[in-house]
Amino acid sequence: MLEKIKELIHEVQTLKANSKDEVEVLRVKYLSKKGILNDLFLAFKEVSPDQRKEFGQALNTLKNNLQDKINELKVSFEASEEKQQGSFKDLTLPGEPFSLGSRHPISIVINKIVAVLSKIGFTMSSGPEIEDDWHNFTALNLPKHHPARDMQDTFFIQQDPDILLRTQTSSIQVRYMENNTPPIRIVSPGRVFRKEDISARSHCMFHQIEGLYIDTDVSFADLKQTIQYFTKEIFGKSKIRLRPSYFPFTEPSAEVDIYWGLETEIDHKITKGTGWLEIGGCGMVDPNVLKNTGIDPEKYTGFAFGMGIERIAMLLYQIHDIRMFFENDIRFLKQFKSTM
């Protein structure tokens, strides 16, 4: 039996084929379930223990040589076919079409906002999504047991109650202020997380973008002009109003509304018949926040503004269900190819 295997090893080196069909015949003869190699492996069970090592080594050598030879013959014929097809190929024929991907609408809106604000000196800044209590709450004028913390249902890390998923991108601004001196002019986009019910209008994970400007003699008038410029560039609407509101990290604080109009039935629906639409919040940075981040509130002032990216995208593209942004339905995403 061992001699037969050695003869087959020698025979393998001389195998030849004139076509792919002949290669397949060789494969079936030697490597199929009813082939020679399989019969030899079945015979291996009957080999005496003192001969098994030598027999097994020879059998493995035969198996490897057969597989290499069959693959070699197969590749040679495939290469030959490709070469023949290439020599007769009409190079004037149009190429085969292929599908281009598209940017996600959230990415499109973020890029658009960053591009608009970069024209007036804002640069982009980012930070971690897993935050500590100081950067997400305390430094933003929300000490422990502050009632305003109840405004947000937070995802805390169970092992450490001081570690959490950030609830706002304001934490990025805190980190930047701690490590940079004014003038500061940044825009901070990113994902945030809050324990909210998932519905057509809300989600437990969404995106925010916030702007921050700190320098000497920064006033509320500067904030208003910046908001007006932003709404004109993003929505094509410059009529705004600022309604008094409350945010722990700004004082005074305001909600930002734009006049959307009442030209269509959808306008009436989304503005509830008023024509006005809330798009975000803003205010002058609270002196305590400046002090917490090592900036002298006697010398510097600043303003901050923020909004939800999904809300902006829903307005721009007339999308009525926030869940569509996270379902990755290819039919939905294909609609944004023209806005890459």
Same-domain status, 298 and 335 = yes
Q: Which amino acid is at 32?
A: S
Of the listed ranges 58-67, 168-177, 259-268, the least confidently predicted one is: 58-67
Its pTM stands at 0.69
Name the token pair of 138: 């305390």
- What is the model's pLDDT at position 171? 95
Q: Which helix (H) or strand (E) holds 206?
A: strand 205-215
Same-domain status, 283 and 186 = yes
Structural domain ending residue among the three candidates 36, 59, 88: 88
Q: Is 95 within the bounds of a domain? A: no
Give the number of domains in the chain: 2
Q: DSSP labels for 227-255?
A: HHHHHHHHHS---EEEEEEEETTEEEEEE
Same-domain status, 39 and 156 = no
Residues linked to residue 256 through DSSP beta bridges, in sequence order:
242, 280
Same-domain status, 71 and 113 = no
Name the token pair of 17: 């084929």
Place of tokens 């410029």: 229
Specify the higher pLDDT residue, 184 or 11. Answer: 184
What is the spatial distance between Cα 194 and Cα 152, in angstroms, rounded to a whole number?
7
Q: Which helix (H) or strand (E) holds 308?
A: strand 301-308
Q: Is 162 within the bounds of a domain? A: yes
Nearest to 248 by CA among 133, 137, 156: 137
Confidence category of residue 276, pLDDT binned at 50, 70, 90: very high
Q: What percentage of the chain reaches a pLDDT higher than 70?
A: 94
Q: Domain of 317: which CATH number?
A: 3.30.930.10
Same-domain status, 79 and 201 = no
Same-domain status, 49 and 154 = no
Q: Is 97 within the bounds of a domain? A: no
Same-domain status, 209 and 331 = yes
Q: Give 187's contacts (C-beta < 8 A, 6+ positions apart).
A: 113, 114, 117, 118, 122, 123, 124, 125, 209, 210, 211, 212
Contact criterion met (CB below 8 Å) for 280 and 186: no
Q: Is 94 within the bounds of a domain? A: no
Query: Which residues span the domain enclosing 179?
Result: 105-339
Nearest to 68 by CA among 7, 9, 25, 20: 9
Structural domain ending residue among the three candidates 88, 123, 157: 88
- What is the model's pLDDT at position 52? 75
Same-domain status, 29 and 71 = yes
The single-letter DSSP state of residue 155 is -
Confidence category of residue 339, pLDDT binned at 50, 70, 90: low
